Amino acid sequence: MKPRLTNTLLIVLLIMNLAFIGTWWMHHKRGGHGRDMMEMHHSHGDKGMMFLSREIGFDSAQQNKAAKLFDAHAASMKKYQDEISRLQKQIYDCMAKDAPDSTNAFKYADTVGMYRVAMQKEFFRNSLAIRQMCTPEQKKKYDELMLRMTKHLGHHMN
């Protein structure tokens, strides 16, 4: 293939990927009725903690420990989400130039991917920490609850 055609195809694919990411992001943002996902977490964090405590049967000591874990988790996730938002803007800025900067756009996209992986790891660590503070009976309830939530999330992600 000629270099000019290859470059043109790469630019078109980059634009299509950015359009997909933008559409996906706006779809998920609208899912929160225009509110940021972290904003929703903070406004409903206490309700989520109450729900978890009630479903699993946490005592007051477990509730206090879980609340601290939730707060630390929310702070970490907010940092990741802020960085992802910043990088997505930089990706758009690379595309919006007369001579699109695909090299940097791809670097930013790779970094977004690394932050998303870090978010998954943070979710795992937080979930594991909560599970480890459960009694054996509570672990069964926790596992069932996580399974239900995973199925529910999987349904909404399709």
Q: How far is CA 44 from CA 30, 49, 106, 129, in A?
A: 17, 9, 35, 21
User: Chain centroid to CA 44: how far?
Assistant: 16
Cβ–Cβ < 8 Å for 45, 69: no
**In whole angstroms, what is the distance from residue 73 CA to residue 24 CA?**
24
Return the domain boundaries, the chain. 36-157
**In whole angstroms, what is the distance from residue 75 CA to residue 78 CA?**
5
Q: Residue 100 pLDDT more than 90?
A: no
Cβ contacts of residue 123 below 8 Å, gap of 6+?
73, 77
**In whole angstroms, what is the distance from residue 137 CA to residue 149 CA?**
19
- pLDDT for 150 equals 78
- pLDDT for 132 equals 94
Q: What's the pLDDT tens digit per position in 136-150? A: 999 999 999 888 887
% of the chain with per-residue pLDDT over 90: 37
Span 36-157: which CATH code? Answer: 1.20.120.1490
pTM over 0.75: no
